[in-house]
């Protein structure tokens, strides 16, 4: 077999291991998927009546807000899954088995690749559950099949990017506790974007930040696609952001992994 | 196969944050032998294993393992070795069988061969009944056995065992020794670290004593023990007269007049004991009690460094309650 074939085989082996571990540790997936659902219920039923009044007046304002907030909730789901990556990577790095992997003649990148792909699968599962709940609550997007594919593609790409970044955060953390705390910034960023309220309602400094941060580009692109108005230039920005974050996260993670001293 | 030594180390040094952990190590391990690195906690044993097994880079010096340079060709080294570290390197969330299958997959054994190898190792290490149980439910001894079994999946030519019996109960310890001997008998080279002289004595054909990052003695277990004056028989007498006559009879031996004890150098063999007691009997000297002291790591240390090892040496039997 060629080097590339070995890399693929080893990564697939690691992916199988990581997915098995996720299944054996379901409370984490439950927590990571549960959080965005709680936010969804909170924002639609507690804040939705009032926040929705900014979009439509009258009894339809809550469902108008549900339509508005869904991209934000989906990105919270992605951010939560990324937080899970940091935790599982840190758990692995503090356990003895990682030293075994490092003394074996396996594709060096396969350990991280396995984690990253497992997390992307976990995130896609989470997105499906959250979407199902939203549909049950009355979310009716007007996207066609092509737009849906674009939404899935954009979200997967952005997840991939955040997960690499989070894998690096997990490697940088010395303990599992730190690893579960640092990526919390990622779950905060959707709130500082156009995900939950109109950017125009924010004060000056925050408004500029919200306008030019990646979560806003992805939110706007997904929102455009779901509402049937198209993604426009936001799609390009979202893809560019994703590619940039993925590359930076990947390089940082590889650097930390190769530099890492034995336990 | 290469006919050179399994491991050659020349002038190896390593320090962490300015603290010297290994200081100019030279050693050679012949292929197909068991080599023991003996030393107390903190001597640098684990660091040594980590460098030899490509986990961490050496500070300076030349290290060749299984015919490959650890710096120039770490993957060549990795393909030839197996490592069982001091801390169990098993996946707690998987079952024993899944752990072994993981290793088989990473060694690219293929479906059929992998399955056969896993079944064989489960059987050999007495884990067949627990194969489908999650490892988190395993006992300490089972984890060690699984750990070693995982190391063997790829049939390595050279195995590193970092304190393989620390914390094991006496029975598991014996079982581990048996496995190690079987491996050596099949031609595998074994590099083991230990804090226990009896373990090195039991298993190794060559022993190096590591102290504060330096090798202070090297030789066969027999050679080392001959350098140790620690082996002795302690005689306890009931009466001061008996003590005096015995002291006179046995010549210049160390003793304690107040406690009526004498320390007679001895190798602990039955023949030498019989001779000693025969001499005392012939002189009609009554001995109240007798105890035999075999040399331990502290004696080795005292003999080669002139001081006691920095940490008290733990007796494995006392650890039986730990996992």
ipTM of the complex: 0.88
A259 touching B, CB under 8 A? Answer: no
B87 touching A, CB under 8 A? Answer: yes
Q: Which of A13, A25, A261 sits opposite B102 (nearest CB)?
A: A13
Q: Is the model's pLDDT at B312 over the cut of 60? A: no
A21 touching B, CB under 8 A? Answer: yes
Indicate yes or no: CB of B85 within 8 angstroms of CB of A261. Answer: no
Mean pLDDT (whole number) for B78-97: 90
Contacts of A68 by beta carbon, 8 Å cutoff, 6+ apart: A52, A55, A223
| Chain B positions in Cβ-Cβ contact with residue A97 (cut-off 8 Å) | 89-91
B73 touching A, CB under 8 A? Answer: no
Indicate yes or no: CB of B78 within 8 angstroms of CB of A21. Answer: no
Q: Is the model's pLDDT at B254 over the cut of 70? A: yes
User: Tell me, what's the pLDDT at B233?
Assistant: 85
Q: Could you tell me how many residues make up chain A? A: 263
Residue A210, Cβ density class (10 Å: 0-12 exposed, 13-18 middle, ≥19 buried): buried
Averaged pLDDT in 10-residue chunks for chain A of 263 residues: 87 96 93 94 90 74 90 96 94 89 91 96 97 94 92 97 96 90 89 92 93 94 91 91 97 89 52
**What is the phi/psi pair of residue B7, to 5°?**
-135, 130
User: Tell me, what's the pLDDT at B118?
Assistant: 97
- Kindly report the three-state secondary structure assignment for every residue of A88-131: HHHHHHCCCHHHHHHCCCCCCCHHHHHHHHHHHHHHHHHHHHHH
d(CA A176, CA A153): 31
| Chain B positions in Cβ-Cβ contact with residue A105 (cut-off 8 Å) | 75, 78-79
CATH number of the B7-226 domain:
3.40.50.300
Q: Could you tell me how many residues make up chain B? A: 323
Q: Which of B78, B98, B134 sits opposite A103 (nearest CB)?
A: B78
Identify which of A28-42, B230-244, B278-292 has the greatest average pLDDT: A28-42
B273 touching A, CB under 8 A? Answer: no
User: Tell me, what's the pLDDT at B231?
Assistant: 73
Residue B128, Cβ density class (10 Å: 0-12 exposed, 13-18 middle, ≥19 buried): middle
User: Tell me, what's the pLDDT at B1?
Assistant: 45
A207 touching B, CB under 8 A? Answer: no
B154 touching A, CB under 8 A? Answer: yes
Q: Is the model's pLDDT at B296 over the cut of 70? A: no
Indicate yes or no: CB of B85 within 8 angstroms of CB of A100. Answer: yes
Sheet (strand B214-219) strand order: B81-84, B158-162, B189-194, B34-38, B206-211, B214-219
Q: Worst-scoring range by mean pLDDT, A204-218, B166-180, B196-210, B264-278? A: B264-278
pTM as predicted: 0.83
Minimal C-alpha gap between B90 and chain A (Å): 5
Indicate yes or no: CB of B106 within 8 angstroms of CB of A104. Answer: yes
Q: Is the model's pLDDT at B82 over the cut of 70? A: yes
Dihedral sign (CA A54, A59, A64, A66): positive
Are residues B32 and B4 in contact, defined by beta-carbon separation less than 8 angstroms?
Answer: no
Indicate yes or no: CB of B79 within 8 angstroms of CB of A25. Answer: no
- Closest residue by Cα to residue A148 from A39, A67, A224: A224
Domain boundaries of chain B, sorted by first residue: 7-226, 232-294
B248 touching A, CB under 8 A? Answer: no
Q: Which of B54, B85, B102 sits opposite A96 (nearest CB)?
A: B85
Give me the torsion for CA of B49, B53, B54, B57, rounded to 10°.
20
Contacts of B240 by beta carbon, 8 Å cutoff, 6+ apart: B257, B260
Q: Are strands B206-211 and B214-219 parallel, antiparallel or unpaired?
A: antiparallel
Q: Which of A6, A103, A105 sits opposite B55 (nearest CB)?
A: A103
User: Tell me, what's the pLDDT at B168?
Assistant: 85
Q: Which of A10, A16, A99 sits opposite B89 (nearest CB)?
A: A99
Mean pLDDT (whole number) for B152-173: 91
Strand, helix or coil at A196?
Answer: coil
| Chain A positions in Cβ-Cβ contact with residue B94 (cut-off 8 Å) | 17, 20-21, 24
Residue whose pair of structure tokens reads 């001091």 in the numeric block: B86
User: Tell me, what's the pLDDT at B320?
Assistant: 32
- Closest residue by Cα to residue B87 from B137, B25, B47, B147: B147
Count helices and strands (H / E) in chain B. Answer: 11, 14
Residue B272's pLDDT band, with cuts at 50, 70 and 90, is: confident
User: Tell me, what's the pLDDT at A260?
Assistant: 67
- Closest residue by Cα to residue A78 from A130, A19, A15: A130
Residue B229's pLDDT band, with cuts at 50, 70 and 90, is: low
**Residue B190 belongs to what H/E stretch?**
strand B189-194
User: Tell me, what's the pLDDT at B221?
Assistant: 84
B56 touching A, CB under 8 A? Answer: yes
Which pair of structure tokens corresponds to residue B176?
Answer: 């581990």
User: Tell me, what's the pLDDT at B197?
Assistant: 84
| Chain B positions in Cβ-Cβ contact with residue A100 (cut-off 8 Å) | 83, 85, 89, 150-151
Q: Is the model's pLDDT at B313 over the cut of 70? A: no
The percent of residues in chain B predicted with pLDDT above 90, rounded, is: 54
A13 → chain B, closest CA residue = B105
Q: How does the average pLDDT of chain B come out, rounded?
A: 86
User: Tell me, what's the pLDDT at A1?
Assistant: 60
CA A102 to chain CA centroid, Å, is: 28
| Chain B positions in Cβ-Cβ contact with residue A101 (cut-off 8 Å) | 106
**Residue B215 belongs to what H/E stretch?**
strand B214-219
Strand, helix or coil at A152?
Answer: helix
């Amino acid at each position: 077999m060629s080097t590339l074939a070995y890399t693929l085989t080893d990564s697939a082996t690691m992916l199988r291991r990581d997915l098995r571990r996720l299944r054996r540790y379901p409370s984490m997936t439950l927590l990571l998927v549960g959080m965005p659902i709680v936010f969804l219920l909170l924002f639609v039923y507690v804040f939705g009546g009032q926040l929705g009044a900014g979009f439509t007046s009258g009894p339809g304002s809550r469902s108008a807000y549900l339509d508005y907030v869904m991209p934000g909730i989906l990105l919270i789901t992605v951010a939560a899954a990324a937080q899970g990556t940091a935790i599982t990577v840190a758990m692995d790095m503090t356990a003895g088995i990682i030293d075994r992997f490092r003394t074996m003649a396996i594709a060096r990148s396969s350990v991280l690749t396995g984690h990253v792909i497992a997390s992307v699968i976990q995130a896609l599962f989470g997105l499906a559950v959250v979407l199902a709940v939203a549909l049950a609550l009355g979310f009716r997007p007007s996207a066609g099949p092509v737009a849906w594919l674009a939404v899935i593609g954009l979200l997967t790409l952005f997840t991939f990017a955040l997960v690499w970044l989070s894998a690096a955060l997990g490697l940088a953390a010395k303990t599992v506790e730190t690893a579960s705390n640092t990526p919390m910034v990622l779950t905060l960023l959707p709130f500082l974007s156009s995900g939950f309220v109109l950017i125009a309602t924010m004060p000056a400094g925050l408004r500029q930040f919200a306008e030019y941060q990646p979560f806003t580009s992805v939110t706007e692109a997904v929102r455009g696609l779901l509402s049937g108005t198209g993604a426009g230039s936001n799609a390009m920005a979202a893809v560019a952001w994703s590619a940039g974050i993925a590359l930076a996260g990947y390089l940082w993670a590889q650097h930390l992994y190769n530099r890492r001293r034995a336990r | 196969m290469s006919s050179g030594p399994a491991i050659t180390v020349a002038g190896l040094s390593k320090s962490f944050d300015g603290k010297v952990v290994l200081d100019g190590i030279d050693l050679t391990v012949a292929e197909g032998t068991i080599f023991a690195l003996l030393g107390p906690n903190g001597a640098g044993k684990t660091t040594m294993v980590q460098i030899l097994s490509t986990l961490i880079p050496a500070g300076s010096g030349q290290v060749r393992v299984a015919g490959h340079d650890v710096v120039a060709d770490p993957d060549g080294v990795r393909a030839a070795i197996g490592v069982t570290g001091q801390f169990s390197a098993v996946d707690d969330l998987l079952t024993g069988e899944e752990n072994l299958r993981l290793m088989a997959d990473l060694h690219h054994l293929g479906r059929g061969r992998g399955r056969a190898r896993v079944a064989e190792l489960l059987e050999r290490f007495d884990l067949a009944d627990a194969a489908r149980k999650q490892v988190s439910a395993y006992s300490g001894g089972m984890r060690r056995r699984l750990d070693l079994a995982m190391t063997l999946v790829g049939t390595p030519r050279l195995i590193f065992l970092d304190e393989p019996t620390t914390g094991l109960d006496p029975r598991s310890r014996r079982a581990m020794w048996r496995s190690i001997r079987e491996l050596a008998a099949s031609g595998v080279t074994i590099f083991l670290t230990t804090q226990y002289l009896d373990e090195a004595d039991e298993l190794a054909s060559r022993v190096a004593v590591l102290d504060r990052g330096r090798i202070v003695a090297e030789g066969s277990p027999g050679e080392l023990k001959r350098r140790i004056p620690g082996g002795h028989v302690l005689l306890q007498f009931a009466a001061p007269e008996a003590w005096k006559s015995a002291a006179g009879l046995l010549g210049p031996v160390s003793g304690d007049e107040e406690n009526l004890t004498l320390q007679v150098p001895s190798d602990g063999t039955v023949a030498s004991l019989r001779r000693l007691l025969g001499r005392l009997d012939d002189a009609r000297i009554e001995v109240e009690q007798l105890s035999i002291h075999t040399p331990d790591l502290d004696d080795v240390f005292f003999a080669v460094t002139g001081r006691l090892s920095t940490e008290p040496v733990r007796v494995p039997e006392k650890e039986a309650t730990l996992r």
